[in-house]
C-alpha cells in the first residue's frame, strides 16, 4: 500500500527527524573521553514479582560472532527493499553484516561500530528482532529494556553519531509506507556525543498530527551519574494498559523522564498504533541525518568525526506483567502434521499456480508465486494450545515496488486469513529470510492454506518452509 502524502509532503519512513529541541541548548562537552572497556552484567535481570520475561538476548556469543539469527534480522544497504533511500532519515552510512560493524565482543556485549574507510565512506550496523508481537497483555503492562553504553566519543569527534534503541509497529515490516500511523517508540536515542537520552513517540500522520510529526512527542535528560558515553545505563520503556487512559513511560536507570497518555494521542490514532499484532525492536548506530544535523546546525559527520567508536549492548529484554502461564501442551496424535514442526512448502497436498524448484538452502521450495496462488496442507494439528505466530522462510527477487502478502487460512482458500505478513524484494529469489506473522487462535486439526495476494500480477515470493510457534 502506498498512502497519499499528507499535504504536499512526501511519505516519511521511521526514525526521529526532530528539529533542534530546547534541551540541546545545554553545553556540549568538548573534551573527548578516553576509551573505556566496560563489562557486561552476569545475566539478564530476573523479572520482579508479578512480571514475566517474554523474550531476551544476553549477547554471550563468542568474540567476533554475529548475533543469533533466531533472534535478529541484520539489515543491510541504504534502505529496505522498495523503501525510501537512506532509511528515510538522510543518514549517510551503509549497513552491513560484516563483523567489523557488528559482532559479539566475547565479554557479554554486542558491539555496533561505525567505520569510515580511506575514501571517506561510512559503514555501520542495524538489527531488528525476528519477533514482531511485543505488546502488553489485555489489562497488563509491557516493558522493553536494554543496558547500553553509547559510543564513547564527545565533542567535535562525535559529530554525526546517532545510536538508537527503538521499536516499530509490526505492520511496517514489508510495507515501508505506513509510518507513523503504525507507531514508533524510541526507547533511547542520542546524537553527536551529547550527554542526553531522548525518549520519543511517533504516531498519527505526517507532517503534524497528534504526535507533532516529524518531531514526535519527546523529552530528554542527562544520564544519571556517569555520562551516557562513559558508562552503561539501563534504558526502559513501559506501555501500561492496566490504567485508563493508558500510559507510555520512558526511564533511564529507573528514573522516569517522559510520559505520554492515551488521551494525548486520541482516536483513531491510538488504536492505529496499538490494535495491531505488536512491535519489533531495533538497535543501530547511524551516521549523519536529520536529527544529528538539526542538533548540530550543520551537516554531519565532518572531517573531525572519528571512526570506530562502538555502541555496546549488554542485554535486551522484554517483560510483561498481568499474564498467566499458558496450559501445558500435549503432542499431536499420530497421523497428522505437527503445526509446530517444520512444514516443507513443497510437501503440499494440493496447489494452485506454484512451481517446485531446487532450493539454494537444500531440498526444494515453491516458486513463481503470485497473487491468487495457494498451497494446501491437510490434517495439520495445532493441539489444545493455540499458536502465537507463524514463521515462513521466504525469498523474493521482485522488482522495486512489487510486494504482496503471505497469508494463512483455515479449511478454505477463501476463508478470512487468520494471519499474514508482507514481503518485498529480499535481494534475490534465493536470498532467504525468516519472516514472522501473527495468527489468530487455532486449536485442533485443520486444513491449512497458504494463500498469496498482491495488488499486481507479477511473481513476488518463493517459500521454502513454514511453522507455527506457541
- Could you give the domains of the chain? 22-321 (2.60.120.200), 337-469 (2.60.120.260)
- CA dist 426 and 433 (Å) reads 7
Residue 71: how many other CB atoms lie within 10 Å? 16
Q: Output the pLDDT for position 335.
A: 60
CA 414 to chain centre: 31
- CA dist 60 and 277 (Å) reads 29
Q: Output the pLDDT for position 457.
A: 87
Q: Output the pLDDT for position 416.
A: 92
* Triad 319, 267, 405: Cα angle to 5°: 65
Question: What's 296's DSSP letter?
Answer: H
Ranges of the chain whose pLDDT falls below 50: 1-37, 323-333
- CA dist 306 and 458 (Å) reads 46
Sequential DSSP letters for 251-264: EETTEEEEEEEHHH
Q: Output the pLDDT for position 174.
A: 87
CA 169 to chain centre: 8
Instruction: Report the largest interatomic distance among the alpha carbons of the chain, rounded to a whole angstrom.
Output: 70
C-alpha cell at 356: 517446485
> Three-state DSSP class for 250?
strand
Distances in Å between the alpha carbon of 292 and those of 33, 113, 295? 19, 17, 5
Q: Output the pLDDT for position 363.
A: 83
The answer to whether residues 447 and 371 touch, using CB atoms and an 8 Å cutoff, is: no
Q: Output the pLDDT for position 57.
A: 96
Q: Output the pLDDT for position 402.
A: 86
The answer to whether residues 83 and 75 touch, using CB atoms and an 8 Å cutoff, is: no
Q: Output the pLDDT for position 39.
A: 62
Sequential DSSP letters for 409-436: EESSTTSPPSEEEEE---SEEEEEEEEE
pTM: 0.66
> Three-state DSSP class for 229?
coil
Amino acid at each position: 500500500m502506498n498512502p497519499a502524502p499528507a499535504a504536499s509532503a512526501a511519505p516519511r519512513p521511521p526514525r526521529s527527524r526532530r528539529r533542534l529541541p530546547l534541551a540541546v541548548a545545554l553545553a556540549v562537552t568538548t573534551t573527548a573521553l578516553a576509551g573505556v572497556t566496560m563489562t557486561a552484567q552476569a545475566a539478564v535481570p530476573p523479572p520482579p514479582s508479578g512480571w514475566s520475561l517474554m523474550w531476551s538476548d544476553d549477547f554471550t556469543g563468542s568474540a567476533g560472532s554475529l548475533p543469533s539469527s533466531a533472534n535478529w534480522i541484520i539489515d543491510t544497504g541504504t534502505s529496505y527493499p522498495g523503501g525510501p533511500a537512506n532509511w528515510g532519515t538522510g543518514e549517510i552510512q551503509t549497513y552491513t553484516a560484516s563483523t567489523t560493524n557488528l559482532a559479539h565482543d566475547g565479554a557479554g556485549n554486542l558491539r555496533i561500530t561505525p567505520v569510515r574507510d580511506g575514501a571517506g565512506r561510512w559503514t555501520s550496523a542495524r538489527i531488528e528482532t525476528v519477533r514482531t508481537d511485543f505488546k502488553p497483555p489485555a489489562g497488563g503492562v509491557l516493558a522493553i529494556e536494554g543496558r547500553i553504553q553509547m559510543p564513547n566519543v564527545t565533542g567535535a569527534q562525535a559529530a554525526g553519531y546517532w545510536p538508537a534503541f527503538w521499536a516499530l509497529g509490526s505492520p511496517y515490516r514489508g510495507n515501508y509506507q505506513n509510518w507513523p500511523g503504525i507507531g514508533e517508540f524510541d526507547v533511547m536515542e542520542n546524537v553527536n556525543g551529547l550527554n542526553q537520552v531522548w525518549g520519543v513517540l511517533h504516531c498519527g500522520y505526517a507532517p503534524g498530527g497528534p504526535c507533532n510529526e516529524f518531531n514526535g512527542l519527546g523529552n530528554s535528560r542527562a544520564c544519571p551519574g556517569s555520562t551516557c558515553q562513559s558508562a552503561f545505563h539501563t534504558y526502559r520503556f513501559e506501555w501500561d494498559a492496566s490504567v485508563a487512559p493508558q500510559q507510555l513511560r520512558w526511564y533511564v536507570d529507573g528514573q522516569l523522564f517522559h510520559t505520554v497518555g492515551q488521551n494525548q494521542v486520541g482516536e483513531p490514532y491510538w488504536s492505529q498504533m496499538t490494535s495491531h499484532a505488536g512491535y519489533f525492536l531495533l538497535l543501530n548506530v547511524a551516521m549523519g541525518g536529520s536529527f544529528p544535523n538539526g542538533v548540530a546546525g550543520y551537516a554531519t559527520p565532518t572531517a573531525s568525526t572519528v571512526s570506530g567508536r562502538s555502541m555496546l549492548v549488554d542485554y535486551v529484554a522484554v517483560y510483561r506483567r498481568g499474564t498467566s502461564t499458558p496450559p501445558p501442551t500435549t503432542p499431536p496424535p499420530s497421523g497428522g502434521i505437527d503445526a509446530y514442526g517444520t512444514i516443507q512448502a513443497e510437501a503440499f497436498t494440493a496447489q494452485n499456480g506454484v512451481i517446485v524448484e531446487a532450493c539454494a538452502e537444500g531440498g526444494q521450495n515453491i516458486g513463481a508465486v503470485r497473487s491468487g496462488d495457494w498451497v494446501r496442507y491437510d490434517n495439520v494439528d495445532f493441539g489444545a494450545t493455540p499458536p502465537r505466530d507463524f514463521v515462513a522462510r521466504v525469498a523474493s527477487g521482485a522488482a522495486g515496488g512489487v510486494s504482496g502478502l503471505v497469508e494463512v487460512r483455515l479449511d478454505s482458500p477463501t476463508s478470512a486469513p487468520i494471519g499474514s505478513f508482507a514481503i518485498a524484494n529480499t535481494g534475490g529469489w534465493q536470498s532467504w529470510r525468516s519472516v514472522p506473522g501473527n495468527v489468530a487462535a487455532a486449536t485442533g486439526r485443520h486444513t491449512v492454506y497458504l494463500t498469496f495476494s498482491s495488488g499486481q500480477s507479477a511473481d513476488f515470493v518463493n517459500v521454502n518452509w513454514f511453522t507455527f510457534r506457541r
